[in-house]
A = this chain, B = another copy of it.
Amino acid sequence: MLSKKTKYGLKALTFLASQKGRQPVQISEIAKQENISRKFLESILLTLRKSGILGSKKGKGGGYYLIKEPKDIPMTVVMRVLEGPIAMVPCVSLNFYEKCDDCPDEASCSVHMLMLQVRDSALEVYKNNTLADLVP
């Protein structure tokens, strides 16, 4: 299940991408337009900034803005920042790999085999979409 954090983050990013210019937009403005709890959104935008997707400006006229053009922001990056690993099990994760402690042999593990395919198919989708593709 997609977390609300990811859902809200995607909506916020799409909103920013749909803006005319690249002027900073206030948290409150985004929260209002997208029906998101202001405070919760605040923490989400913060992680997006720390990961280098968003920039921010303090004080009057401040807010958040996209650092790059939407078409240059692949969904793989966004999803990993917001939701974490794309893989459903750590043992098939490219960026967050971890060995299963209960599984003696990865190569002959049925779960591993199946989840590898699922990961690849999801990855394919995220690779083929940039933030620009999410703007209606």
Contacts and interface: CB of A to CB of B under 8 A. Distances in A.
Given A2-B89, A88-B1, A111 B35 contact: no
B110 A136 contact: yes
Given A121-B121, A122-B122, A108 B89 contact: no
A113 interface: yes
B125 A7 contact: no
B1 A111 contact: no
Given A2-B88, A89-B7, A135 B122 contact: no
Interface of A: 1-2, 7, 10-11, 14, 34-36, 75, 85, 88-89, 102-104, 108-111, 113-115, 117-118, 121-122, 124-126, 129, 134-136
